Structure 1
Amino acid sequence: MTATALSVSDMVVTFDEFVALNHVSLDVREGESFGIVGESGSGKSTLLRAVAGLNVFESGRLTVAGRSYSGAKRDRDFYRTVQMVFQDPYGSLHPRQTVDRLLLEPLAIHGFTDVDVRIARALDEVGLGSGFRFRYSHQLSGGQRQRIAIARALILEPKILLLDEPTSALDASIQAEILNLLEQARRERGLTFVMVSHDLGVISHMCDRLAVMRKGEVVETFAADALEKREFSADYTRQLLVASEGFRRG
């Protein structure tokens, strides 16, 4: 039986008196690509940010690679294991830093010494050559920025990638390229993905299983191929399927 890479149990997140996550539980297996879908405000991005330590969770338990974490405190080992790619490639990269500096920073924090080799390899892996190394992010297109963001996440050789709508800010023609890049990295590195998206088409293409969220709660969890077969139980999931632009029957 495949080991569990990441486990969330009874997680609660509140903002003032608003309950953003209401006793959310899910398990993600090693090497799995796990999707989280739901309409805007359903809590899916809040869940990802709580796992990453960007949102505090008041109660519940988070276990990653056998280690438990609480609140928002994460140690260096956590970030060697878990990295996150954000939705907005324009906001996630520092505008006054070169690509070289952006990629060097995590390596320096974690004490790597073979930085030139790692930076060259990272750029090559995301389809950008060494000519991009000393450019600034404002000199890059949206798709190129997201490739740099992915390179920055992969450069520490994590086991788990958290992906928060990684293509929704990009043109449709670029979206497919980025998704293919991510899928290739997952296969070659044996990565575990937790991917948030509002687009059931993206999730059905990329993920093995998915959780449907609504109003801060998990409505149901099922295998991704159940979408095409309509083998799910919640009316809310059916409504999402109808509303999801880009979903096409096979």
Structure 2
Amino acid sequence: MSDLHGKSGTGAPVLIADALGVDFGPFRAVDGVSFEVRPGESLGLVGESGSGKSTILRAIAGLAPISSGAVRFEGKPLGKRREKAFYRHVQMVFQDPYGSLHPRQTVDQILSEPLAIHRIADGERRIRQALDEVGLGSGFRFRYPHQLSGGQRQRVAIARALITEPELLLLDEPTSALDASVQAEILNLLEEIRQHRRLSSILVSHDLAVITHLCERLIVMQSGREVETLTSRQLVAGEVTKPYTRELMAASEGFRRKEPVPA
């Protein structure tokens, strides 16, 4: 990893969540969570299943209702419905690479769809560039999802997210459905892309090692609430203040993170 850690995050926030609340009937899934993401920064949301971390991503993407508080993207408040332009600038990569791609579409069709929706020209160049960027190349262009491995499918999903040249990526457990060896490849790919494009991202994971590999800062979540906010370096050094965070660290066997090597 480069010395990007600690050097991104300057400038006005790309996204601000202010006392965000999400209700599903009487159930309070997210309870007053506030944070911001700055240009080029990767923020992690970590916690057990049911902690509300994925619901936060879905609320930002317009897939879950915002019941209270507010979310602003590039200074503009997000309403109940997202405008089409929003999805050009904010893209999401889902957990399951098997379910997130249309089984009857080729990779070419999958990548062409967002270009058609947003009326983006120069599709030929963008498709070739997106496939090259995720390490697949044009030889995969006319294959169907069932002809790809799990890691290759997730690379296609990442290429689809990148092809509109977004400012913010929402990553919902993007490696948890993959084999351990493939997980490392996808994590390294995401970090390379973030550095190259200076992308902002929000990464959801239950795995502290994944979070500290990709994120400068993280929010520890429990029962829909923020427990504490830390830098990755603070977490690695054990500079935590809340018992729940210590419990997560103890439960994350093999938790390690290498310090970035200065460029």
What band does the TM-score fall into relative to the shorter chain? Answer: over 0.9
* Inter-partner Cα distance in structure 2 for 1:161 and 1:249: 22
Q: Which residue is equivalent to 1:192?
A: 200
Correspondence for 2:116 among 84, 108, 111:
108
Q: Is the 8 A contact 2:213 2:257 kept in 1?
A: no
Q: Which residue is equivalent to 2:52?
A: 43
Shifted more, 76-85 versus 145-154: the winner is: 76-85
Q: Which residue is equivalent to 1:16?
A: 25
Deviation at 1:75, TM superposition (A): 0.8
Matched position secondary structure for 2:35: strand
Describe the superposition over 1:32-69 as per-residue Cα deviations: whole angstroms up to 9, x where unpaired.
11100000100000001101111111121000111110
Deviation at 1:244, TM superposition (A): 1.5
Q: Is the 8 A contact 1:96 1:136 kept in 2?
A: yes
Check 1:246–1:163 CA distance in 2 against 1; reply closer, same or farther (3 A cut). Answer: farther
* Inter-partner Cα distance in structure 2 for 1:249 and 1:191: 21
Deviation at 1:114, TM superposition (A): 1.0
Describe the superposition over 1:198-221 as per-residue Cα deviations: whole angstroms up to 9, x where unpaired.
000111111100000000011111
Unmatched segments (≥5 aa) in structure 2:
1-9, 259-263
Q: Which residue is equivalent to 2:178?
A: 170
Q: Is the 8 A contact 1:31 1:192 kept in 2?
A: yes
Correspondence for 2:126 among 114, 118, 125:
118
Q: Which residue is equivalent to 1:99?
A: 107
Q: Which aligned runs of 4 or more in structure 1 are off by greater than 2 angstroms?
A: none
Aligned-residue sequence identity (percent) comes to 62
Q: Which amino acid aligns with 2:23?
A: T
* Inter-partner Cα distance in structure 1 for 2:139 and 2:155: 14
Matched position secondary structure for 1:158: coil
Correspondences of 1:192-231 after superposition (within 5 Å): 192-231=200-239
Describe the superposition over 1:124-160 as per-residue Cα deviations: whole angstroms up to 9, x where unpaired.
1100011111111111100000000000000000011
Unmatched segments (≥5 aa) in structure 1:
none
Q: Provide TM-score, normalisation by structure 2.
A: 0.92
State the aligned residue count. 249
Q: Is the 8 A contact 1:208 1:223 kept in 2?
A: yes
Correspondence for 1:25 among 34, 38, 47:
34
Describe the superposition over 1:16-41 as per-residue Cα deviations: whole angstroms up to 9, x where unpaired.
21110111111111111110000010
Describe the superposition over 1:159-191 as per-residue Cα deviations: whole angstroms up to 9, x where unpaired.
110100000000000011101111111111010
Q: Is the 8 A contact 2:212 2:257 kept in 1?
A: no
The alignment status of 1:87 with 2:56, answered yes or no, reads no
Q: Provide TM-score, normalisation by structure 1.
A: 0.97
* Inter-partner Cα distance in structure 1 for 2:98 and 2:253: 24
Q: Is the 8 A contact 2:209 2:257 kept in 1?
A: no
What's the RMSD between the two structures over aligned residues? 1.1
* Inter-partner Cα distance in structure 2 for 1:23 and 1:70: 17
Deviation at 1:249, TM superposition (A): 6.5
